[in-house]
Amino acid sequence: MSTGRLTIDLDAIVANWRALDAMTNCRTAAVIKADAYGLGSVQVAKALFKAGVRQFFVAVAEEAAPIREELGPRPEINVFSGHMKGDTEAIRALNLTPMLNSVDQLTHHFETLPGHPFGIQLDTGMNRLGMEMQEWAAIAGIALDQNPTLVMSHLACADEPDHPMNPHQLENFRMMTDGIGVPRSLSSTGGILLGPDYHFDLTRPGIGLYGCEPFTDATPVVALEFPVIQVRDVAAGEVVGYGNTWQAERASRIATISGGYADGIIRHLSDRAVFFHGDIPCKLVGRVSMDLMTVDVTDLDEVPKALSLIGPQQSLDDVARQAGTIAYELLTQLGARYSRRVYGK
């Protein structure tokens, strides 16, 4: 096998959902947008549905089609982007629940799909999606008369528990929604961890399901290793890779492994990433290229057949820190070339 191997543990995803659900006294949905953060939305949704999840969130209407086809009519599938022009037929045919983000969307929804379920998204300070306080005050009565299924907002800094934005947004959300008599939702994974004041009627965990921070007690979900194509001896003073960015300071052994930025191993990991052979760390040297990476295996006692990037020795969050980014970015960019081994179907 000449491609990297990505291992996905569906049982771990279910365990993480159950653990997050147990932290609250409300309903717990699941966010499976971006193809379940790159891990396969159909298989993830199927496993979570079997575990009892009945509400899912996707980013755009198109993402819902394979999930509806697999799971049938029973789960509620909510769309964060709301009711975009061009989405009307999909929302009707797939029985989706758009989270309406503006007065224009509200008007469009009522005109094109009267009586069809919808939710409302409010902006409590993030300035990204949702109706601002004045907009909501102007149309709240009209919207609430049509019985929305949910009123929600999104926290900007929930992964920083002491950030003053958290209580600020909570106060705004309460000011905008107290007494409306409609189910409310404010929290994704980080908000769940902030405690019950942020839970309301429904939580929407995303990244925590997939084993990543800020849910530090999560069960790991993915493992990733790459096969070694070739091992060569490099003399002191020789260089490796594009741009001659790494020069051997000693006689070295360099393993060339199959994988690169076409597989989601971003170029910013050049000269930073650490791979493992068992418990022994091996540093990536030189630039990450499209299909290949070079790793210093001088200190190994044997020629490795494969090297691990994500596994027991190193989490996805650890690799993200090496790249100066977050686990979300790396996870969602894992490419289609991997041989995927899925457990827990």
What CATH number does the domain containing 153 carry? 3.20.20.10
Nearest C-alpha neighbor of 41 from the set 32, 53, 54, 50: 32
Mark whether 85 and 173 lie in a shared domain.
yes
Mark whether 72 and 169 lie in a shared domain.
yes
**What's residue 188's pLDDT?**
98
Q: Is residue 139 part of a domain?
A: yes
Q: Is residue 217 part of a domain?
A: no
Instruction: Tell me the two tokens of residue 127.
Output: 């300035």
Nearest C-alpha neighbor of 91 from the set 81, 15, 38: 81
Instruction: Tell me the two tokens of residue 281.
Output: 């760390």
Q: Is residue 1 part of a domain?
A: no
In whole angstroms, what is the distance from residue 12 CA to residue 218 CA?
A: 8
Mark whether 14 and 85 lie in a shared domain.
yes
Packing angle of the helix pair 165-177, 133-145 (nearest 10 deg): 40
**What's residue 87's pLDDT?**
96
How many domains, in total, are found in the chain?
2
Mark whether 32 and 174 lie in a shared domain.
yes
Identify the domain boundary among 185, 210, 235.
210
**What's residue 2's pLDDT?**
82
Mark whether 164 and 285 lie in a shared domain.
no
Amino acid identity for residue 173 in this structure? F
Specify whether the CB–CB gap between 51 and 14 falls below 8 A.
yes
Nearest C-alpha neighbor of 254 from the set 233, 236, 275: 233
Amino acid identity for residue 68 in this structure? R
In whole angstroms, what is the distance from residue 197 CA to residue 166 CA?
A: 11
Q: Is residue 148 part of a domain?
A: yes
Mark whether 134 and 267 lie in a shared domain.
no
Specify whether the CB–CB gap between 249 and 285 falls below 8 A.
no
Domain of residue 241, CATH code: 2.40.37.10
For 281, the domain range is 222-343
DSSP reduced 3-state for 108 = helix
Identify the domain boundary among 210, 231, 264.
210
* Annotation says 33 is catalytic: yes
Mark whether 100 and 227 lie in a shared domain.
no
Identify the domain boundary among 150, 178, 210.
210
Instruction: Tell me the two tokens of residue 160.
Output: 């920083």
Distances (CA, A) of 343 to 7, 13, 107, 309, 315: 8, 11, 45, 19, 18
Instruction: Spot the catalytic one: 50, 242, 343, 345.
Output: 242
Mark whether 236 and 181 lie in a shared domain.
no
**What's residue 1's pLDDT?**
57
Instruction: Spot the catalytic one: 33, 210, 328, 338.
Output: 33
Q: CB neighbours of 168 closer than 8 A, spacing ≥ 6? A: 125
Q: Is residue 17 part of a domain?
A: yes
Low-confidence ranges of the chain (pLDDT < 70): 1, 345
Instruction: Tell me the two tokens of residue 241.
Output: 């890779």
Q: Is the pTM of this model over 0.75?
A: yes
Mark whether 72 and 110 lie in a shared domain.
yes
Mark whether 253 and 124 lie in a shared domain.
no
Q: Rg of the chain's alpha carbons, rounded to an integer?
A: 23
Please provide the size of the chain in residues: 345
**Tokens 């009267």 belong to which residue?**
114
* Annotation says 343 is catalytic: no
